[in-house]
Amino acid sequence: MRAVQRSGRAVVTGGAGFLGSHLCEALLEDGWQVVALDNFLTGAPGNVAHLAQRSGFELVHCDVTENMHVRGDVDLVLHFASPASPVDYLELPIETLRVGSVGTERALRLARDKGARFVLASTSEVYGDPQVHPQPETYWGHVNPIGPRGVYDEAKRYAEAIVTAYRGAHGVDTGIVRIFNTYGPRMRPYDGRAIPTFIRQGLAGEPLTVAGDGSQTRSVCYVDDLVAGILALARSGHPGPVNIGNPQERTVLEIAEAVVAATGGRSRVEFVERPVDDPEVRRPDTTLARTELGWEPRVSWEDGLRRTVDWFAGALSRSA
């Protein structure tokens, strides 16, 4: 396992998205030069506007399924371009499959041609509705390939396969991170994921719409912790896959009730129909991240939720 250099020049696909923008910010803080590529399908230039004047940062409007030309040296390629919420990938099914397949291979070719380390943003969705709990990296998953979530699940499963193939066939230095539920500033209020939806509803004093009876579980990780784990994997040279997520498990109802309290307590919980193929449980086994990367989440749920609510309150007031 070859550790990569501590800084250099990095390319982040999906660099104007929720996770991508936080990655760009953290890389710049670590002394990297950063080229962010984004077609703004689900990302937004505003997410990285505060980085625009930073030395060493470049934002390029680019669809990685069509072209991906980066001049000069590249030491690290982080492939984070993809719709990532059910609202997005149900509306953009072909685009989701293309960025997971064509986009991943183009990003891999860039890494191969530049001799760069490559890190794929995979997902806990490769485990589907898991029959093993918590989910270790050795678990093969329980996925419905033709269900409504299948376009995202299978795009990421294919992406993992082609990353592994490029490692074996072309000697590309690759890593795979399986990302579990993440929350924090710069999430879109209407992206359909539970926490931004709950916060938006709570700040407006509206009912929080909890799917089913809310007994299904999620393990939510604050974005700063997640980014720290991703960069630890990038620096390590470990091939992965490695789960990065918070191993503390909460029911969706518990998450909703915490958001009600954090947003002023004006809202009530309202139960709505549960989506098809909605996973019953979700919790990472993070043993590998802890032992191989020395990584563990540090931000408490209470602190992370407060930071996120404060950001949403400001963002929503500015857009009103």
Domain ranges of the chain: 9-183+221-246+284-295
pLDDT of residue 5: 60
Residue 1 has pLDDT above 70, yes or no: no
pLDDT of residue 67: 84
pLDDT of residue 128: 93
- Band (pLDDT 50/70/90 cuts) for residue 24 is very high
Would you tell me how many other CB atoms lie within 10 Å of the CB of residue 134? 20
- Band (pLDDT 50/70/90 cuts) for residue 56 is very high
Question: Tokens 């990095």 label which residue?
Answer: 10
Tell me the CA end-to-end span of the chain in Å, nearest whole number. 51
C-alpha to C-alpha distance for 200 and 189, rounded to whole angstroms: 6
Residue 234 has pLDDT above 80, yes or no: yes
Q: Which is more confident, 257 or 67?
A: 257
Least confident of 1-10, 65-74, 129-138, 224-233: 1-10
Q: What is the pLDDT of residues 240-291, one digit of tens each?
A: 999 999 999 999 999 999 999 999 999 999 999 998 888 899 999 999 999 9
Helix (H/G/I), strand (E/B), else coil: 113: helix
| Contacts with 181 (C-beta within 8 Å, 6 or more apart), sequence order | 124, 193, 218, 219, 220, 221, 245, 282
Q: What is the pLDDT of residues 167-221, one digit of tens each?
A: 999 999 999 999 999 999 999 999 999 999 999 999 999 999 999 999 999 999 9
- Band (pLDDT 50/70/90 cuts) for residue 3 is low
Kindly state the average pLDDT of the residues 37-45.
Answer: 97
Radius of gyration over every alpha carbon of the chain, rounded to an integer in angstroms:
19
Domain 9-183+221-246+284-295 has CATH 3.40.50.300: no
pLDDT of residue 320: 60
- Band (pLDDT 50/70/90 cuts) for residue 34 is very high
Choosing from 127, 152, 166, 222, which is the catalytic residue?
Answer: 152
pTM of the model: 0.95
Q: Is 152 a catalytic residue?
A: yes
pLDDT of residue 174: 98
- Band (pLDDT 50/70/90 cuts) for residue 10 is very high
Tell me the average pLDDT of the chain: 95
Q: Do you find a cis peptide bond into 297, omega within 30 degrees of 0?
A: no
pLDDT of residue 277: 81
